[in-house]
């Protein structure tokens, strides 16, 4: 065999797995056809977060007046932001490549596919490996209505030469909600269409409702139970025929309706690797596919499509195969943030999920953050604890509000450790902060108390 490990895909999962494996002394090759660092670094988490931050500055500049600042905001330079974001993502992509190189892995810039269960083809080269990892990630799903070819997918935002004046965002998932926040924050007249009754299916209902109110307050034209029937081009603009019968004139239509595993053309058939109907590689915990020495990690398995899960899986597999430390990562209690405006941070069960397993106590707090008592901005924070009544274990921690992602990381440790409401209660708050509310909530939600009193 030419290598101990051949990794197809240089994104979050593949680079981590290859780097750690090489560090353990394995002979490793990693192939990447598009960009090192994958979706997260180039057209996902990193540029998205920078754009969310860019969008926040506009409102912060306006907030500053309440604190005595006299700031004259004359506009936003989209080209300058694009340049700065691309420079940073290019830098990070380079770091990923260098880290692999430094660990002693062979770096292959090219399109790799399986020829058989131990052989990978890259161009004319045939390379054999004892273990193979498929870490090719996913790609955006395209809609199927007439005129779908006029729609952009999420990758396009990061390469747009000019900022559109108006935009329509289709979908109600992570990307749709984050994009609507970015666009609206940067002054784009934004309409978001979602087919269901309330977006962000799977998140806690109170958080979803509160986010809808915040986004409307921030000027997003949010329409639920609405999709797109067709899109037409009319000169320089597009006409979006919405399923509610209206026609929306716009400059850009983003179709952000989910992502699918990128397995086409990989030669999985030739190697005997089983996939689902949607092309996701079927894996056991730990990433083993139907072929024992071939593994799949990250979004290509379509389990929990989050960067830290992919990197965690990559690291664990490298330790298992080459580090003498067999282990898998747990997919329970994975904290996550949605970088909307304001952001969501969450870990554990929603109230609806928890209620399926037994009686729950719910603690909920809504308040205006201290900053906005002076900024004058109508922005509220919502914090919620879901507690198992018999054991008092905290099953879910949910927040909509500034810094939610930062705050939830710490509370996720407590939830993973099995903390009880009493553990929260005996923790002293940090004052004045929003986060202290999580350790000072003493009274159950009013509707629960009323029910208990009946
Ligand atoms: P999601 O799966 O989160 O959301 C897809 C959305 O599109 C849902 O609202 C879904 O509606 C809707 N939808 C699906 N099919 C159609 C259709 N045919 N017509 C209209 N609407 C449709 O996907 P995203 O693309 O937003 O994100 C992909 C993944 O990337 C996420 O699942 C997440 O794991 C990851 N991600 C994570 C981020 C983070 O950590 N902050 C940020 C961005 C992405 P319905 O709910 O009714 O099915």
Quickly state the pLDDT bin for 450 (edges 50, 70, 90): confident
Q: Which atom of ligand 1 is nearest to the CA of 199?
A: 9
What are the pLDDT digits (tens) for 40-83? 999 999 999 999 999 999 999 999 999 999 999 999 999 999 99
How high is the pLDDT of residue 447? 86
The two domains 148-257 and 336-453 share their CATH topology (first three levels equal): no
Sign of CA dihedral 154, 158, 161, 167: positive
**pTM for the full predicted model:** 0.97
- Residue from 42, 148, 175 whose mutation best tests the ligand 1 pocket (most atoms within 8 A of CB): 175
Q: Judge whether 113 and 140 are in contact, CB under 8 Å.
A: no
For the chain, the structural domain boundaries read: 3-139+260-322, 148-257, 336-453
**What topology is assigned to 336-453 in CATH?**
Enolase-like; domain 1 (3.30.390)
Cα 245 to Cα 228: distance, rounded to the nearest angstrom: 10
How high is the pLDDT of residue 246? 98
Residue 225, phi-psi category: left (phi > 0), alpha (psi -120 to 50), beta (remainder): left
254 lines ligand 1 (CB under 6 A): no
What are the pLDDT digits (tens) for 401-428? 999 999 999 999 999 999 999 999 999 9
Architecture of domain 3-139+260-322: 3-Layer(bba) Sandwich (3.50)
Q: SS3 breakdown of the chain: % helix, strand, coil, rounded to 5?
A: 35, 25, 40
**Tokens at 155, concatenated:** 């990758």
Cα 361 to Cα 67: distance, rounded to the nearest angstrom: 39
- The helix (run of H) or strand (run of E) holding residue 256 is none
Ligand 1 center to 226 CA (angstroms): 16
What are the pLDDT digits (tens) for 97-116? 999 999 999 999 999 999 99
Instruction: Say whether pLDDT at 309 is over 90.
Output: yes
CATH tag, 148-257: 3.50.50.60
Instruction: Say whether pLDDT at 451 is over 90.
Output: no
The dihedrals phi and psi of 215, each to the nearest 5 degrees, come to -70, -40
8-state DSSP, 266: S
- Name 228's Cβ contacts closer than 8 Å, sequence gap at least 6: 143, 145, 168, 170, 193, 240, 241, 242, 243, 253
171 lines ligand 1 (CB under 6 A): yes
208 lines ligand 1 (CB under 6 A): no
The catalytic residues are 431
Cβ neighbours, 10 Å, residue 405? 18
> Under DSSP, is residue 397 helix (H, G, I), strand (E, B) or coil?
strand
Instruction: Say whether pLDDT at 446 is over 90.
Output: no
Instruction: Say whether pLDDT at 449 is over 90.
Output: no
Nearest CA to ligand 1 atom 18: 143
Residue with structure tokens 């900024």? 375
The dihedrals phi and psi of 84, each to the nearest 5 degrees, come to -65, -40
């Amino acid at each position: 065999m030419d290598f101990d490990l051949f990794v197809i895909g240089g994104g979050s999962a593949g680079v981590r797995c290859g780097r750690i494996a090489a560090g353990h002394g394995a002979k490793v090759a990693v192939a990447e056809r598009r960009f090192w660092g994958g979706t997260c670094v180039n057209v996902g988490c990193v540029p998205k977060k920078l754009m969310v931050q860019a969008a926040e500055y506009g409102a912060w500049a306006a907030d500053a007046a309440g604190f005595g600042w006299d700031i004259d905001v004359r506009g936003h330079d989209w080209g300058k932001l694009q340049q700065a974001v691309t420079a940073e993502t290019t830098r990070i992509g380079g770091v990923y490549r260098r880290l692999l190189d430094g660990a002693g892995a062979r770096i292959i810039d090219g399109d790799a596919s399986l020829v058989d269960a131990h052989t990978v083809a890259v161009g004319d080269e045939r390379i054999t490996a004892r273990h193979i990892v498929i870490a090719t990630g996913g790609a955006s799903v395209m809609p199927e209505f007439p005129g779908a070819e006029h729609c952009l997918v999420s990758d396009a935002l990061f390469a747009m030469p000019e900022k559109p004046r108006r935009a329509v965002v289709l979908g109600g998932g992570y990307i749709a909600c984050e994009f609507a926040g970015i666009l609206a924050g940067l002054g784009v007249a934004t309409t978001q269409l979602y087919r269901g009754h309330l977006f962000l299916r799977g998140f806690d209902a109170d958080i979803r409702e509160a986010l809808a109110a915040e986004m409307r307050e921030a000027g997003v034209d949010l329409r639920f139970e609405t999709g797109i029937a067709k899109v037409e081009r009319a000169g320089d603009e597009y006409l979006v025929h919405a399923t509610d019968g209206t026609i929306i004139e716009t400059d850009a239509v983003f179709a952000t309706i989910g992502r699918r595993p990128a397995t086409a053309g990989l030669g999985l058939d030739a190697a005997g690797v089983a996939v689902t109907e949607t092309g996701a590689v079927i894996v056991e915990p730990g990433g083993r596919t139907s072929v024992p020495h071939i593994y799949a990690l990250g979004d290509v398995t379509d389990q929990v499509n989050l960067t830290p899960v992919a990197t965690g899986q990559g690291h664990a597999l490298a330790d298992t195969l080459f580090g003498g430390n067999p282990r898998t990562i747990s997919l329970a209690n994975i904290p996550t943030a949605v970088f909307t405006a304001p952001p969501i941070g969450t870990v554990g069960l929603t109230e609806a999920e928890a209620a399926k397993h037994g009686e729950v106590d719910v603690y909920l707090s809504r308040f205006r953050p201290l900053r906005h008592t002076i900024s004058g901005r109508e922005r509220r924070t919502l914090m919620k604890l879901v507690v198992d009544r018999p054991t008092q274990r905290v099953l879910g921690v949910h927040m909509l509000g500034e810094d939610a992602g930062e705050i939830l990381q710490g509370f996720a440790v407590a939830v993973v450790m099995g903390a009880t409401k009493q553990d929260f209660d005996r923790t002293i708050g940090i004052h004045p902060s929003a986060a202290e509310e999580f350790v000072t909530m003493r009274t159950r939600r009013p509707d629960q108390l009323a029910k208990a009193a009946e």
